Structure 1
Amino acid sequence: MSKWSVDTSHSSISFQVKHMMVSKVKGTYDQFSIKVDSESIEDLTTATISIDIDVATINTKNEDRDNHLKSADFFDVEKYPSIKFQSTSITKSGDQYKITGDLTIKDMTKPVTFDVEYNGKGTNPWGVEVYGFEGETKIDREEFGLIWNTALETGGVLVGKDVKIAIEIEVNPA
């Protein structure tokens, strides 16, 4: 197995969730680490992948909302500072992967599957080969203990249950 380095300056972890049933709130986590151990980066079927997200770095471009998300109503970052993912199986079809693993938010661990696409490789200006991947999954936030909500006078709720999570990474040999 070889270790691969994830270039976090060219990678991102983002999410989106319905707001007031009519629009979407989008956000990112500004600090995270991703570890990829694989015999070949162009064939992830032999890989083990782990992700550790610093929840306190959540960024929705609204400080009040970010502080509410960090509170006990949602992520409770004082008690649960990280979101973690650990791969358990990876299958491949062409340039597409299904990466299944255990996602832990707060004290709840559930299996999730990311649909991942291999975007190819290139050589950066310093002569290092880099490889790109992007993937996404959808979770029900309530299954992870993120149950806060409020009813709207016009019907519906303030925050949707389904959260789309997207990951884009650039990796190179460590």
Structure 2
Amino acid sequence: MTTWNIDASHTNVGFAVKHMMISKVRGRFTGVEGTIVGNPEELENANINFKIDASTIHTNNNDRDNHLRSADFFEVETYPEITFVSTDIVKTDDGEYNLTGDMTVRDVTKKVTFKTTFEGKNTLPQGVEVVAFEAKTKISRKEFGLTWNPALETGGVLVGDEITIALEVQANPA
């Protein structure tokens, strides 16, 4: 089996969440590493894992980023990583998969399924093959213990519960 390493410089781990019930805050994590062990063009028998450095969160607002790193949210001093380990991969169409695995945020592990698309394979000018994927899912932040959320005077809450996670991954052979 071939091992492919996630190329952090060509990978984006993004998220979006409702803010004040009316708009969205988008952000990303810049610290990511992981592997795909198996044939990236036929993922059904592959093993996939990734690790995100929670302290690398970036939302274009330093105060918010620092708050997200605090005990109110990710508590990065105690729980520095967000992890995912695949447990099942089902082909749903040509180049499309349901990638299910155990995601751990803080000290909570839940099954999560990413709708995943194989975007292709190509060769860099240096002769190195690369593969790319896109994957998307939605999770409840409350299910992962991320419950900080002040009520708004006008009704509703400051931060939505549903988080959309979108990955754009490029990997190179190990």
Residue 172 of structure 1 and its aligned partner are, at CA, apart by 2.3
Match of 2:89 in 1: 90
Match of 1:42 in 2: 41
Deviations 1:105-152 (A, max 9, x none): 111100000000111122222122211100011000000000000111
- CA separation in 2, counterparts of 1:35 and 1:130? 13
Match of 2:135 in 1: 135
For residues 71-86 of structure 1, the aligned pairs below 5 Å read: 71-86=70-85
How many residue pairs match? The answer is 173
- 1:45 is paired with a residue whose SS is helix
- 1:80 is paired with a residue whose SS is coil
* TM, length-normalised to structure 2: 0.96
Could you tell which deviates more after superposition, 12-21 or 126-135? Answer: 126-135
> Which segments of 5 or more consecutive residues in structure 2 lack a partner in the other structure?
none
- 2:74 is paired with a residue whose SS is coil
Root mean square deviation of aligned Cα: 0.9
- CA separation in 1, counterparts of 2:126 and 2:77? 41
- CA separation in 2, counterparts of 1:27 and 1:115? 20
> Which segments of 5 or more consecutive residues in structure 1 lack a partner in the other structure?
none
For residues 1-174 of structure 1, the aligned pairs below 5 Å read: 1-38=1-38, 40-92=39-91, 93-174=93-174
- 1:155 is paired with a residue whose SS is coil
- CA separation in 2, counterparts of 1:128 and 1:79? 38
Residue 54 of structure 1 and its aligned partner are, at CA, apart by 0.6
State the 4+ residue runs in structure 1 displaced beyond 6 angstroms.
Answer: none
Identity of paired residues, percent? 54
Residue 74 of structure 1 and its aligned partner are, at CA, apart by 0.7
- CA separation in 2, counterparts of 1:64 and 1:126? 41
- CA separation in 1, counterparts of 2:32 and 2:45? 23
- 1:64 is paired with a residue whose SS is helix
